[in-house]
A and B are shown apart, each in its own frame.
Chain A
Amino acid sequence: MKVLVTVKRVVDYNVKVRAKSDGTGPELGNVKMSINPFCEIAVEEAVRLKEAGVATEVVIVSVGDKSCQEQIRSALALGADRGIHVEAEGSLQPLAIAKLLEAVVDREEPELIIMGKQSIDGDNNQTGQMLAALTGRPQGTFASKLDIADGKAQVIREIDGGLQTVSLALPAIVTTDLRLNEPRYASLPNIMKAKRKPLDTLTASELGVDTVSKVTLVSAEPPATRQAGIKVASVSELVEKLKNEAKVI
């Protein structure tokens, strides 16, 4: 079966992003960009399905400006077969991205779509669920285990109290949680090979999707800073401070 995997280009998770001093948004000049960690897990899962003989083709799709082709190439180097870049400028809300992906899904007709549960920039945790709604497909969100058998996807989901298992009719959409797998690193020969893999480009207007959103950023500010704390010398001093100064125990 064909598996479609979405990847997003985001600020590397080790970078501490700050708000711009004029409050117009986050400061993103000259910061390191990478594949969103949850998308990396999605790619890994798809490649493992291919290695297990379950998937026949793994297609990577990314929405954004030209620079996100770099992340598609990285995903191809991890073992995916081909890439689709949906070119769209500006900052897109999850609904617009889901609509663009819906158009790609209509063209590609994958039997399984694997996405990250959230991107670490917007922290929205919406796109997978929205795409599932738009395409009328079942969703297995926050997956920590995925099994494909008999035309169904069995997904173990991480929920607040523990784990939940659901069975989904294929085609289905699965969003990855951190514990689904440990993504591999790309080897140099595979990075070289990935440069020759096919990568198609589509545009939002070609797909007939309006990407204008009614949710807009008004301002961005740093979070309230905490007052500098003190170091205590002993456990008894700590207990004394908590009891008498902070009064929390």
Chain B
Amino acid sequence: MSILIVAEHDNASLKAATLNTVTAASEIGGDIHILVAGSDCQAAADAAASVAGVSKVLVADNAAYGHQLAENLAPLVAEVAGDYSHVLAPATTSGKNLMPRVAALLDVDQVSDIIAVVSADTFKRPIYAGNVIATVKNEEAIKVITVRGAAFDASAAEGGSAEQTNVGAAHDAGISSFVGEEVAKSDRPELTAAKVVVSGGRGMQNGDNFALLEAIADKVGGAVGASRAAVDAGFVPNDMQVGQTGKIVAPELYVAVGISGAIQHLAGMKDSKVIVAINKDEDAPIFQVADYGLVADLFEALPELSEQL
């Protein structure tokens, strides 16, 4: 039994979520191979080869794969997947975009966003915004799976020395093209990988007030997140959204400020180790999941908190 992981990378380095997926693969058991498909992606392939536990890196270096367009990448993955019992990718926007297309080409069902491996064919995954945990059995010959990064530890990025081979023909479907990208700039750690996340909601009142959260995040080396309400109100860009429809995080410490705690938001953060809620409404549902709750006006509490850290 061998497992293929479709690496998420930016052609130069591996994205952190790939390392969590390696851990999930090692829990399934078997030889772990990583596919790095991209354009001028040798550096990412070298990074994949040094990940502990990986025995082989398959490299598909072609201009057609440069922007990870699913139309070009899916036929490649489906072609390579034939030799494997499992094909895994992180449940990031990139993995979610690609893998169902691969599964349909292979004519198999997919299991999305697993949070635990029960056995080689049985997995746990959240449904209904995380209010129910389903155990599902996948009896397909090739098991196509996406993995929730926050549910698995990252595998060590060093210590491995996998062999590299070139694979696959160039698939250019010619039906889609990359036009441009607008990447939000941030010096803080990536939201999904941060040890501390400080999030603001509608209670922040405007985008400028997020500076109060940034001050705290910087003191503890954390990332800043937001609720859907804060994003919809235009306070902050939408890639900061934590929730069922945004990012799923499970940091050591999650600080929810001015966030009521709707089901949709809780789905994205309730697996955090310690949750702190700061809200002036003492009946806010967020207090039901918070380990430490502070009923206070955030505009008084945040500067004080920042000062004491």
B178–A164 CB distance below 8 A: yes
Alpha-carbon separation in the docked complex, A122 to B128 (Å):
6
User: Min CB distance, B260 to chain A, in Å?
Assistant: 13
Alpha-carbon separation in the docked complex, A242 to B277 (Å):
12
B135–A142 CB distance below 8 A: no
A133-B101 CB under 8 A given contacts A220-B132, A238-B305: yes
B132–A223 CB distance below 8 A: yes
B301–A139 CB distance below 8 A: no
Contact of A246 among B135, B232, B274 (CB under 8 A): B274
- Chain B 128-158 interface residues, beta-carbon cutoff 8 Å to A: 128-140
By beta carbon, the residue of chain B nearest A225 is B289
Alpha-carbon separation in the docked complex, A14 to B182 (Å):
33
User: Min CB distance, A166 to chain B, in Å?
Assistant: 6
| Interface residues in B, total, Cβ within 8 A | 89
Q: Which residues from chain B contact A138 at a C-beta distance below 8 Å?
A: 71, 173, 175-176
Interface residue? B56 (CB, 8 A): no
User: Min CB distance, A183 to chain B, in Å?
Assistant: 13
Q: Which residues from chain A contact B244 at a C-beta distance below 8 Å?
A: 120, 123
Q: Which residues from chain A contact B66 at a C-beta distance below 8 Å?
A: none
Alpha-carbon separation in the docked complex, A218 to B292 (Å):
36
User: Min CB distance, B282 to chain A, in Å?
Assistant: 8
Interface residue? A192 (CB, 8 A): no
B21-29, B43-51, B107-115, B205-213 - interface stretch: B107-115
Interface residue? B62 (CB, 8 A): no
- Chain A 122-146 interface residues, beta-carbon cutoff 8 Å to B: 122-134, 136-139, 141-142, 144
Q: Which of A126, A142, A178 has the most CB of B within 10 A?
A: A126
User: Min CB distance, A232 to chain B, in Å?
Assistant: 5
B74–A93 CB distance below 8 A: no
Contact of B136 among A132, A139, A216 (CB under 8 A): A216
Q: Which of A132, A133, A160, A216 has the most CB of B within 10 A?
A: A160
Q: Which residues from chain B contact A157 at a C-beta distance below 8 Å?
A: 93
- Chain B 74-108 interface residues, beta-carbon cutoff 8 Å to A: 74, 92-94, 96-105, 107-108
Q: Which residues from chain B contact A162 at a C-beta distance below 8 Å?
A: 181-184, 237, 239
A159-B94 CB under 8 A given contacts A94-B110, A123-B244, A139-B70: yes
Alpha-carbon separation in the docked complex, A144 to B237 (Å):
12
A229–B137 CB distance below 8 A: no
A160–B133 CB distance below 8 A: no
Q: Which of A128, A226, A227, A236 has the most CB of B within 10 A?
A: A226
A217-B178 CB under 8 A given contacts A11-B128, A160-B93: no
Contact of B128 among A121, A136, A167, A229 (CB under 8 A): A121
A221–B239 CB distance below 8 A: no
Q: Which residues of B contact A (CB under 8 A)?
A: 67, 69-71, 74, 92-94, 96-105, 107-113, 122, 126-140, 173-184, 192, 196, 220, 228, 231-232, 237-239, 244-245, 247, 252-253, 263-264, 270, 273-276, 282, 287, 289-296, 301, 304-305, 308-309
Q: Which residues of A contact B (CB under 8 A)?
A: 11, 13-14, 16-19, 26, 93-95, 98, 117-118, 120-134, 136-139, 141-142, 144, 154, 157-169, 172, 177-179, 213-223, 226-227, 229-232, 234-236, 238-239, 241-242, 246, 248-249
